Amino acid sequence: MKKVGIVGAGITPCKSRWVERTYYGLSQMAVKECMKDAAMSIKDVDAVVFGIYNDIFEMSAIPEHPLQGIIGLTNKPGMRVTNGGATGAYAMLAAYTWVASGLYDKVLVLGVEKATDCFDFESMTETPEVIKTIGWSGDTFFERELGWTASDSYAEVVLGYMDSYPNDLKPAVSAKIAEILCAQAKHNEFAQRRDETVTAEMAFNSRYVVYPFKLLEMCVYTEGAGAVLFASEETTRAICKNSGKAPIWISGVGASNEHSVAGPDYRRHKDMGRIWSDHISSHKAYEMAGVKDPVKDIQVVELHDAFVKQLQITMGEMGFVPVGQTDALVEEGIMTPGGKVLVNPSGGLTFGGHFVGGSNIFSTWSARREMLSRGFKRGLVHGTGSTVSQYGVAMVFEQD
Amino acid sequence: MKKVIPEHMNPNVESEIVERGGQKYLQTNEAMFTFYKRTKGEFSKYFLGLRDEKKIYGMHCPKCNSTRVPPFELMCPDCDFAEMKEVEVGDTGVMNTTPPVTYFAHSLFQSWVPFGRGRVVLKGVETALPIHVFTTKGVLTPFVFKKGTPVKVVFRNERIGKPTDIFAVPQSELSPAQIAKSPLMESDLDFSAPDEPKLAAGTAAHKASFAEALKMLTALAAGVEKSPRAQHNLAGWKRSVAVKTAGGNLSMLIDDGKLAASEGLPKGLTPDFVMVCEDPKLLVEWMTFKEALTNAIISGRLWISVNKEFTTIFKLDRLPRSTHRDAK
């Protein structure tokens, strides 16, 4: 396997609705920014992997096909990846393998999603139709018709965790994390909720959307695009020398998809009280990167926080705190300002934005930015997705 | 005949201009739809079992002795794809985990709210069956079902071969005869005797809050008369509501765009449902935008006697803001 580096990244502003752009235009914007960041021409890119989650959002069964030409990659290989919420992370995993295998030298990853073109003509608002559209992601034989939604699906997992660990996930802790994420989003000029101020008290008192998820402790719907460029070691050094930016290496990758049907043994079915996909994927990535203790070895984490309580469980599964004691993230100052690990400096998906196909690319853009600006040695990016947090991907980034 | 896509969900063919930053953008009403005659294939036995036989079938692996419901696979991947056999399973079990309860559903499922979507481990079965969960004792809250709660599967009176043909209720709400009966039908259940929470004796603070709430509710009712938005919120809706608190009782009457409030329980008629909250301060918080009644139900501060009347609570929740906006 060849060493793979990240040589450029660019994102669009995250907005609840882009009336001014289709996903074609958003894609061009992100790719342009990425190439500008890498200080190179798209003509020198060898291949592209597209991350687009939901055909219905884009209103096309092959939504990537019009993008190939308009991003300047005519006659070059392009492949779409779709893996629920983890689409962006899986797209990056695919691009990583293309470069690491030696098949291609410079591979672009483009994640893009529209969402709020969907519109419910009964309530005359977007949200119910967006939820309905995502609802087609549930099991269509046994679950969707029971009213499956993404939020109640993740709530199932969190409630299962709370059955096992009733003293963890205290409401005050989740509310404090929401406050931290909100404050961090103010330093991200592309964050969707940059102008909002949410205090722990406001989050604590916000209404339930589905128990135990409160309105100010869950992600938003976003339209936007993000792009990152991967290259082989020699090429990475050459590009970075030209751009003046330090190389960020992908030193560990891991992925895991759990069973979708619940049962008592996680090796055979879904253990509803755990997120084993996060545990397995992160520990695979650690093993590859030589990470022994994530709290000591990793300085910045950009994790897929669809819901704040899921962020806590994921941090437990990834070994930053013990599973069942994730309130330590706040109570022991692990992720509070000045704490041991910087978690979601972008504001995360909760306050930064969640354009599903590209959200993990947004996270990568942020983690790389923090590593370059603060000189962090290691970073971690995580993606989760599908029903009952079935899919998990983790990538460890490293700086020389 | 019921349509696959309800007519009222279908928008007109129209377009419009939306302005952003001084620029004009065009958007058009569109839909992405596909009709299916979708086979249930290898799941047909299961769904026909629900619809016609009122029985639950699973798949059993003779090698690892595992029985799985729903019968989502023909062969056991844990035993190198050993052929599995259809088996009938029982209709009692326990909740796999605490189930989520949906209160704010999109258009396809709004008529059911609040509903629970849980997973039941039937007796002798390895996997958990996704299933609706309901209570016969009033509104469904997140606290009715827990991991391990013993439940009984109930068959709908009208079944069409879908997952919604069955639902589960707590065994604690059933008689021994009902638990033993198979199949237990929806019509065998009594939804008319909810468990109304007992109220403690009212304190002086409760009484003071009640007086304030009644005064504010009377003002809200007057505000509805002047608010087109609030009248729209209550259009076509008729309900008589008894509200019981530790500080006193009151009545609300909703009548097609109008709201009336008075002290004491409804006289001369049986209310459509009962609202119970220990502290009448909740009503004050509702009318001063500090707490939503829907949220109070989810968090356990407010109880209503009829599950489906959550829709009425949802309408009531809109009134303070509607009257406030129209007054401005």
In a domain, A352, yes or no: no
Residue with tokens 């979507």, as numbered in its chain? B117
Contact: B98, A162; criterion CB under 8 Å: yes
Would residue A337 count as lying in a domain?
no
Q: What is the pLDDT of residues B29-47, one digit of tens each?
A: 999 999 999 999 999 999 9
Q: Report A:244-283 residues touching B (Cβ under 8 A).
A: 261-264, 268-269, 272-273
Query: Is the confidence at residue A10, as pLDDT, over 90?
Result: yes
Taking residue B33's Cβ as centre, other Cβ atoms within 10 Å add up to 8
Give A120 to chain B, closest Cα distance, Å: 8
Give the pLDDT confidence score for residue A16 in this predicted structure: 96
Mark yes or no for CB contact B100/A155 under 8 Å.
Answer: yes
Task: State the residue range of the domain holding A225.
Answer: 4-117+221-242
- Looking at every residue in chain A, the average pLDDT score rounds to 97
Query: Is the pLDDT score of B328 beyond 90?
Result: no
Q: How confident is the model at residue A399 (pLDDT cuts 50, 70, 90)?
A: very high
| Cross-chain Cβ contact A19/B20 below 8 Å | yes
What is the pLDDT at residue B105?
87
Residue A142 has pLDDT above 90, yes or no: yes
Query: Could you say which residues from 151 to 180 on chain B have a Cβ atom under 8 Å away from some Cβ of chain A?
Result: 162-164
3-state SS class at A200 = helix
Nearest CA in chain A to B22: A20
| A36-45, A386-395, B76-85, B110-119: range with lowest mean pLDDT | B110-119
Please indicate whether, in this complex, the C-beta atoms of B298 and A152 are within 8 angstroms of each other. no
Q: Is the confidence at residue B107, as pLDDT, over 90?
A: no
| Backbone angle region of A388, left / alpha / beta, with phi > 0 → left and psi within -120 to 50 → alpha | left
Residue A160 in any domain: the answer is no
Is residue A123 helix, strand or coil?
Answer: coil
Among B72, B103, B105, whose Cβ lies nearest the Cβ of A261?
Answer: B72
Is there a domain that residue A237 lies in? yes
Closest chain A residue by Cα to residue B27: A19
Domains and CATH numbers, chain B: 41-188 (no CATH), 204-327 (3.30.1050.10)
Task: Report the pLDDT averaged over residues B277-297.
Answer: 96
Give a yes or no: residue A216 inside a domain.
no
- Residue A134 in contact with partner chain B when CB distance is under 8 A: no
Interface subset of B 10-29, CB within 8 angstroms of A? 10-11, 18, 20-21, 23, 25, 27, 29
Average pLDDT over residues A273-277: 98
Distance CA A251, CA B218 (A): 67
Token pair for A109:
């990853």
* DSSP 8-state class, residue A345: T
- Classify residue B45 as exposed, middle or buried by CB count within 10 Å of its CB (0-12, 13-18, 19+): middle
Q: What is the pTM of this model?
A: 0.95
Residues of chain B positioned with their CB less than 8 A from the CB of A123: 107
Task: Write the Ramachandran bin of A108: left for phi over 0, alpha for psi from -120 to 50, otherwise beta.
Answer: beta
pLDDT bracket for residue B153 (50, 70, 90): very high
- Number of domains present in the structure of chain A: 1
Q: Tell me if A272 and B119 make a contact (CB, 8 A cut-off).
A: yes
- How far is the alpha carbon of B294 from chain A, nearest alpha carbon, in Å? 9
pLDDT of residue B34: 93
**Is residue B241 scored above 90 in pLDDT?**
yes
Q: What is the interface size between A and B, counted as CB pairs within 8 Å?
A: 130
CB pair distance less than 8 Å for A139 and B102: no
pLDDT at B312 over 90: yes
Instruction: For residue A36, tell me if it sits in a domain.
Output: yes
Whether residues B98 and A159 touch (CB distance < 8 A) is answered with yes
pLDDT for position B61: 98
pLDDT-based confidence at residue A19 (cuts at 50, 70, 90): very high
Q: Average pLDDT, stretch B136-153?
A: 96
Which residues touch B263 (CB under 8 Å, ≥6 apart)? B214, B248, B249, B250, B251
* pLDDT surpasses 90 at A260: yes
Tokens linked to B47: 């769904």
Q: What is the CATH number of the domain that holds A68?
A: 3.40.47.10
* pLDDT grade for B19, boundaries at 50, 70 and 90: very high
Q: Enumerate residues 191 to 230 of chain A having a beta carbon within 8 A of any beta carbon in chain B.
A: 207-212
CB contact B149 to A (< 8 Å):
no
Q: Are A104 and A46 in contact (CB under 8 A)?
A: yes
Which helix H or strand E contains B132, and what residues bound it? strand B129-133
**Best B74, B98, B144 residue to mutate vs chain A (most A CBs within 10 Å):** B98
d(CA A208, CA B294): 9
Residue A320 belongs to a domain: no
Does residue A293 belong to the interface with chain B, where contact is any CB pair within 8 Å? no
Query: Residue B253 pLDDT > 90, yes or no?
Result: yes
In a domain, A238, yes or no: yes
From the candidates A18, A136, A208, A213, which should be mutated to test the interface with B, based on the most B CB atoms within 10 A? Answer: A208
Q: Tell whether omega for the bond before B194 is within 30 degrees of 0, i.e. cis.
A: no
